[in-house]
Amino acid sequence: MPIVAPAESAPGPGPDFPHTTGRVEDARLLAGRGRYIDDLPVGPGTVHAAILRSPHAHALVRRIDLAPALRSTGVVAAYGGRDIAAVLDAFPTIVRKAPPYRAVATDRVRYVGEPVAVVLARDRYAAEDGIAGIDIDYAALPAVVDPDLACRPDAPLLNDESGSNVVWRQQYRYGDPAGAFDAAARVVSLSLTFPKYNSTPLETYGVIAEYLPESDGYQVHSNFQGPFSLLPVMARALRVPENRLRVIVSQDIGGSFGVKAMIYPYMALIAASARLSGRPVKWIEDRAEHLLASSSGTDRKSTLEAAVGSDGCIHAIRVNIRENVGAYLRAPEPSCVMRSLTTFCGPYRIEHGEIDACCVLTNKLPTGLNRGYGGQQHIFSLERLVDRVAAEMDVDPIEVRRRNFLKREDLPYRTTTGSYYDSGDYVGCLDKLRAAVEREAWQAERQRLRDQGHLAGIGFATGIHSAASNIGYVTLALPPDDRRRANYNAQVRDR
């Protein structure tokens, strides 16, 4: 009998998943048998890197003297920004106006903690001693950290060429927002500030890199979480095709939360150092470096307006976003703005919208992924707005949400921005939450706290949790004409 596997697809959701207690990963981890980046064996001749970082928020680097480091015991090599630039270009980005973002600054530093030199030594202690000896002559420049101040004409410029700290700006219009605002019974507005913060995984960044002269390629071990769309970004900067940059992710990663996507400049830096020195190079970020100079989410200033009907239904919103991406706009930014753009209506039937968004450079740590990536910024904006609508229209905050929610029978629903909401029961979900809060007697608890002299309050928020991103959303950052051009790819600016 011929053996042919029947061509079976996988219709329907499939069988129930077997119940399991604990995780199959746990036994190994709990027994101390995890293999994190710092546990990996290193090859003979491996040297250890320490990174000298700028103490200035904004300064010209006039002169750098590496000689004292090279005289330091155990030091094998020391490289300034220009040395590294001999084998490592600036990282490409889709935003043409963005100033070059390099793994090590060359002639100018733009945030405290920016790498300015790297020292390789027989061990990390010797490497740290080495960087302590490096002498750099800085000429300090005025700094700016607030995105609104950075937008003013008299603000210190991070990028002299463009004449503005606004490196990216796009306006988006969906539906007929002007008509909806003309027809509104009331316009509710507010201005918001969302902070810059991070995720502090237990394990910091780590890289072990080697240059492979036989193939003119690199081998890089790292606790990189992806997205692997950043691999071409690294390969381009290292001037090799993608298949000459072998990335090996350590078997275990001690938390990532988005921040471990932004290890990529260090992967490239350690790889470049390996090439220059002809030695395998290992670098484990310390906690101080991580807090100062790894990555963070963006801080955002925004103003919002809602066109509200007399029944409390929101028909349109206008959003103005000033996104602070720090000292450089680096890939995958400005996706922090894009990620929530096409869900600007949240779970509500808001069919008209206008979004005016820009990314602003300031003298702060550059940004990147942080769990939620734009979601927390946008949900904060939208939910504060909805609470304000409830207050101004004198409607209960839960009731105003119920009125504005898309209903179960409305889904699947194509938002005015093109997102395709698959399914859901927002009213039912919120009712279940309210029932839980009532069952747990939160109102009584709030009253008890108030009776004791505390200030106490109960608040609600709802939101859309989009998942499994379409990489196409990133290109919303480009004008439609640029997006369609076959040759429009991320560019290396200053090769």
CB of 115 to other proteins, least distance (A): 15
Q: Which secondary-structure segment (H or E) carries 61?
A: strand 59-65
Nearer to other proteins, 73 or 189 (CB): 189
Residues 275-294 that bind other proteins (CB under 8 A): 287-288, 291-292
- Scanning 79-87, 273-281, 314-322, 480-488 for contacts with other proteins by CB under 8 A, the matching segment is 480-488
CB of 79 to other proteins, least distance (A): 25
- CA distances to 65, 113, 197 from 365, rounded to whole Å, are 25, 8, 11
Report the alpha-carbon distance of residue 416 to residue 383 in Å, rounded. 19
CB of 269 to other proteins, least distance (A): 19
Contacts for 103 with CB less than 8 Å, ≥ 6 apart: 84, 88, 91, 115, 237, 265, 266, 268, 269, 272
Residues 63-102 that bind other proteins (CB under 8 A): none
Q: Is 480 in the site for other proteins (CB under 8 A)?
A: yes
The dihedral region occupied by 468, where left means phi > 0, alpha psi between -120 and 50, and beta the remainder, is left
Q: Is 186 in the site for other proteins (CB under 8 A)?
A: no
CB of 109 to other proteins, least distance (A): 10
CB of 226 to other proteins, least distance (A): 2
CB of 481 to other proteins, least distance (A): 8
Q: Is 349 in the site for other proteins (CB under 8 A)?
A: no
Q: Is 422 in the site for other proteins (CB under 8 A)?
A: yes
Rg over CA atoms, the chain: 26
CB of 305 to other proteins, least distance (A): 14
Token pair for residue 414? 């194509």
Q: Where are the alpha helices (DSSP H) in 227-263?
A: 230-238
Report the alpha-carbon distance of residue 204 to residue 197 in Å, rounded. 16
Nearer to other proteins, 282 or 300 (CB): 300
Tell me which residue of 375, 268, 265, 286 sits closest to 328, measured CA to CA.
Answer: 265
- Residue at token pair 């020391």: 78
Nearer to other proteins, 16 or 394 (CB): 16
Nearer to other proteins, 118 or 247 (CB): 247
Give CA angle at 417 (414, 419), nearest 5°.
45
- C-alpha 353: how far from its chain's center? 25
- Residue at token pair 């006039």: 62
Nearer to other proteins, 27 or 183 (CB): 27
Q: Is 152 in the site for other proteins (CB under 8 A)?
A: no
Q: Which of 182, 410, 445, 494 touches other proteins (CB under 8 A)?
A: 445
Residues 22-41 that bind other proteins (CB under 8 A): 22-25
Report the alpha-carbon distance of residue 66 to residue 74 in Å, rounded. 14
| Site map 361..400 versus other proteins, x via CB under 8 A | --xxx---x-xxx-xx--xx-xxx--xx--------x---
Q: Is 189 in the site for other proteins (CB under 8 A)?
A: no
Nearer to other proteins, 79 or 403 (CB): 403
Tell me which residue of 170, 172, 173, 174 sits closest to 415, measured CA to CA.
Answer: 174
The beta-strand segments (E) located in 175-267 are 186-194, 206-212, 217-222, 245-249
CB of 309 to other proteins, least distance (A): 22
Q: Is 343 in the site for other proteins (CB under 8 A)?
A: yes
Q: Which of 162, 442, 492, 493 touches other proteins (CB under 8 A)?
A: 442
| Site map 235..274 versus other proteins, x via CB under 8 A | -------x--xxxxx-x-xxxxxx-xx-------------
CB 304 within 8 A of CB 440: no
Nearer to other proteins, 123 or 425 (CB): 425
CB of 98 to other proteins, least distance (A): 19
Nearer to other proteins, 75 or 109 (CB): 109
Q: Strand pairing partners for 281?
A: 47, 209
Q: Is 447 in the site for other proteins (CB under 8 A)?
A: no
Q: Which of 154, 163, 394, 467 touches other proteins (CB under 8 A)?
A: 467
Q: Is 488 in the site for other proteins (CB under 8 A)?
A: yes
Report the alpha-carbon distance of residue 437 to residue 419 in Å, rounded. 32
CB of 83 to other proteins, least distance (A): 26
- CA distances to 54, 103, 140, 387 from 112, rounded to whole Å, are 5, 14, 12, 38
Residue type, 253: I
Residue 227 preceded by cis peptide, ω within 30:
yes
Nearer to other proteins, 182 or 431 (CB): 431
CB of 124 to other proteins, least distance (A): 19
Residues 98-137 that bind other proteins (CB under 8 A): 111-113
CB of 70 to other proteins, least distance (A): 29
Residues 215-234 that bind other proteins (CB under 8 A): 223-229, 231-232
DSSP, res 175? S
- CA distances to 25, 131, 387, 399, 444 from 447, rounded to whole Å, are 45, 58, 21, 22, 5
- Scanning 39-47, 121-129, 305-313, 482-490 for contacts with other proteins by CB under 8 A, the matching segment is 482-490
